[in-house]
Amino acid sequence: MQPERRYLRWFFANVVGLLGATAILNIIVDPYGAFGTRHVERVNANKPDFTEQLRLTHAYALERLKPRCVLLGTSRTGKGLDPGHPALSGLECYNAALPSINLYEMRRYFSMRRR
């Protein structure tokens, strides 16, 4: 086999291997909760990006959980309404409140919920 072909095969095999390893690591760590990977202590239980990127993580959570009840609003809703309250029992609520959210974003989250 020619050395150029051997080099190209080796190179592309390594590129595919590294991309695959990166994808598997991302699924295991799941920093934004996109895949719903089980939480393992000292591996992926602490997700600081989940709270720093709420607009992204709430969208992933709504798509994955498909709740029947969604609480939308600003930070007042986020801190003031509990989806686990007994009055909301049996509704499978999710609190998708975001700080400083505007009506346009709320409408987008609501339409995402209806899909």
Beta strand 69-71 pairing with 93-95: parallel
Average pLDDT over residues 108-115: 69
Average pLDDT over residues 60-79: 87
Whole-number Å distance between alpha carbons of 110 and 113: 5
User: 2 is written with which tokens?
Assistant: 């020619």
**Where do the domains of the chain lie?**
50-114
pLDDT for res 112: 67
Report pTM. Answer: 0.66
Average pLDDT over residues 64-69: 87
Q: Which residues are within 8 A (CB) of 42 and not within 5 positions of it... i.e. 6 or more apart?
A: none
User: 9 is written with which tokens?
Assistant: 């095969």
- Mean pLDDT for the chain? 87
Neighbours of 72 (CB within 10 A): 20
Average pLDDT over residues 8-25: 97
pLDDT for res 23: 96
Higher-confidence residue of 110 and 5: namely 5
Average pLDDT over residues 94-104: 89
Higher-confidence residue of 43 and 28: namely 28
